[in-house]
Structure 1
Amino acid sequence: MGSGNFNHYEDSPVNNSPQGKGLLGAGWRPLTRQFNWDYFFHLASQDSWELMQKFMSATSDIADAMGRNQYTWWANLLNVFSEDTRYYLDEFWNYITPEAPLPDYRYKDILSVEAPVVQTVSRDAIPIDFVLNRLQEITIFKVLDLLGKPDLITQYFMDRSYYYPSVRFINWERLEIMGSAYAYWSEAQVWLQIDYLGRGGRRRYTLIANNITPLVTKATYNLAVMLSGYQSRVGQVHAEFAIRSFPADIQSFTDRVQQAILDSDQLAILVQGEPGTGKTAWTQAVAREILAPLGYVIFILDHDAVENFVPPSYLERICLIINEADNLAQNRASLVAQNNSKTEHILSLLDGTLYQSVIDDAGVHAKQKLVVLMTCNTTERLDPAMLRKGRVDLMYDFVHRFV
Structure 2
Amino acid sequence: MEFDYFRNNEGNPPNSKGQSLIASGWRPFQRDFEWEFLWQLWHKDTQELTQRTLNLASSFAEVLGRNNYTWWANLLSIASDNTRYEVEKFWNYITPDPQSPDHRYKDVLSTETPIVQFVSRSSIPIDYVLNRLQEITVLRVLHLLERPDIITQYYLERDFYFPVDKFVSWERLDVVNTVYAYWSKHDIWLQIELYDRGRRQYTLMSKNISPLINKATYDLAVMLSGYQSRVGKVHSQFPIKTFPADIQNFTDTVQQAVLNQNQLAVVVHGEPGTGKTAWTQAVAKEILVPLGYVIFILDHDAIANFVPPAYLERICIIINEADNLAQNRASEVAQYNNKTEHILSLLDGTLYQSVIDDSGIHIKQRLVVLMTCNTTERLDPAMLRKGRVDLMCEFCQRFV
Q: Same fold per TM (> 0.5)?
A: yes
Sort the Cα spacing of 1:383 and 1:113 in 2 relative to 1 into closer, same or farther, 3 A. same
Q: Specify the alignment match of 1:314 in structure 2.
A: 311
Residue of 80, 83, 86 corresponding to 2:81: 83
Question: 1:359 and 1:130 mapped to 2: Cα distance?
Answer: 22
* Stretch deviating more after TM superposition (369-378 or 97-106): 97-106
RMSD: 1.7
Which amino acid is 1:126 matched to? I
Written as runs of structure 1 = structure 2, the 5 A alignment for 1:41-52 is 41-52=39-50
Written as runs of structure 1 = structure 2, the 5 A alignment for 1:137-176 is 137-176=135-174
How far did 1:86 drift?
Answer: 2.1
How far did 1:220 drift?
Answer: 0.6
1:42-92 deviation per Cα after TM superposition (whole angstroms, max 9, x unaligned): 222211111111111111211222223443322221122222222222221
Sort the Cα spacing of 1:340 and 1:296 in 2 relative to 1 into closer, same or farther, 3 A. same
Question: 1:103 and 1:277 mapped to 2: Cα distance?
Answer: 56
Q: Are residue 181 (structure 1) and residue 156 (structure 2) matched? A: no
Identity of aligned residues (%): 66
> RCO greater where, 1 or 2, for CA within 8 Å and sep 6 or more?
2
Name the SS for the 1:93 alignment partner. helix
TM-score norm. by structure 2 comes to 0.92
Q: Are residue 381 (structure 1) and residue 381 (structure 2) matched? A: no
Question: 2:101 and 2:18 mapped to 1: Cα distance?
Answer: 23
How far did 1:160 drift?
Answer: 2.4
Name the SS for the 2:367 alignment partner. strand
Question: 1:240 and 1:218 mapped to 2: Cα distance?
Answer: 25
Written as runs of structure 1 = structure 2, the 5 A alignment for 1:193-272 is 193-198=191-196, 200-272=197-269
1:251-308 deviation per Cα after TM superposition (whole angstroms, max 9, x unaligned): 1111111111111111111111111111111111010011000000000000110100
* Alignment: residue pair count: 385
How far did 1:357 drift?
Answer: 3.9
Name the SS for the 1:112 alignment partner. strand
Residue of 277, 280, 284 corresponding to 1:287: 284
Name the SS for the 1:153 alignment partner. strand
- Verify the 8 A CA contact 1:355 1:366 in the aligned structure 2: no
1:6-58 deviation per Cα after TM superposition (whole angstroms, max 9, x unaligned): xxxxxxxxxxxx94752221111122322222322222221111111111111
Q: Specify the alignment match of 2:338 in structure 1.
A: 341
Residue of 51, 54, 58 corresponding to 2:52: 54
Sort the Cα spacing of 1:401 and 1:19 in 2 relative to 1 into closer, same or farther, 3 A. closer
1:173-201 deviation per Cα after TM superposition (whole angstroms, max 9, x unaligned): 11111111111111011111111102x21
Question: 2:363 and 2:29 mapped to 1: Cα distance?
Answer: 43
- Verify the 8 A CA contact 2:108 2:361 in the aligned structure 1: no
Question: 2:80 and 2:24 mapped to 1: Cα distance?
Answer: 32
Name the SS for the 2:386 alignment partner. coil
Question: 1:399 and 1:116 mapped to 2: Cα distance?
Answer: 47
Written as runs of structure 1 = structure 2, the 5 A alignment for 1:323-342 is 323-342=320-339
Question: 1:307 and 1:69 mapped to 2: Cα distance?
Answer: 82
- Verify the 8 A CA contact 2:297 2:319 in the aligned structure 1: yes
How far did 1:388 drift?
Answer: 0.9
Question: 2:242 and 2:170 mapped to 1: Cα distance?
Answer: 45
Question: 1:261 and 1:361 mapped to 2: Cα distance?
Answer: 30
Q: Are residue 66 (structure 1) and residue 44 (structure 2) matched? A: no
Q: Specify the alignment match of 2:36 in structure 1.
A: 38
Q: Are residue 135 (structure 1) and residue 116 (structure 2) matched? A: no
TM-score norm. by structure 1 comes to 0.92
Unaligned runs of 5+ in 2: 1-15
